[in-house]
Amino acid sequence: MLRTLPIRARFYPVNGNKAESVSVPTLDWDGDRYPLVEAFLTGEKTQSYIHDCLVKVSRRGRQHCFYVFFKNHKLLHKNGSVPHGTTWKGDIIVIRAGVKSFGVNLRARDASLTDYIVFR
């Protein structure tokens, strides 16, 4: 059965000065979730496609997995949410990877991990 479920994610917008928590809609098809990040990432005329990658972070003996969706193009605006000295042009969205499904809600303590991923 097809339905829409929201999940919490961390968004690093071009037009902002810090990251924010957002609710990303996902299409859920019998437990398989597909996040609809296109609604958040700007610059669709400059760069129509979205890059994605799986990032694994080890902390205190545990491994945490996140999906990072982003755009980075020389004609996009500089991202004000990433630290100074880092030149990133485009939006970034980070979603926690689930064990059984593609994406799950971020937890409150995941904010520091997502910042670590983006700021590296």
What's the pLDDT band for 50 if we cut at 50, 70, 90?
Answer: very high
Summarize pLDDT for 87-99 with one digit per residue, the tens.
789 999 999 998 8
Q: What is the pLDDT of residue 94?
A: 97
Over range 6-25, report the average pLDDT.
Answer: 93
Q: What is the pLDDT of residue 18?
A: 92
The C-alpha atoms of residue 28 and residue 34 are separated, in whole angstroms, by 7
Summarize pLDDT for 97-113 with one digit per residue, the tens.
988 778 889 998 899 99
CA dihedral 8, 104, 63, 116 (to 10 degrees): -20
- Please tell me the pTM assigned to this model: 0.90
Residue 86 has pLDDT above 80, yes or no: no
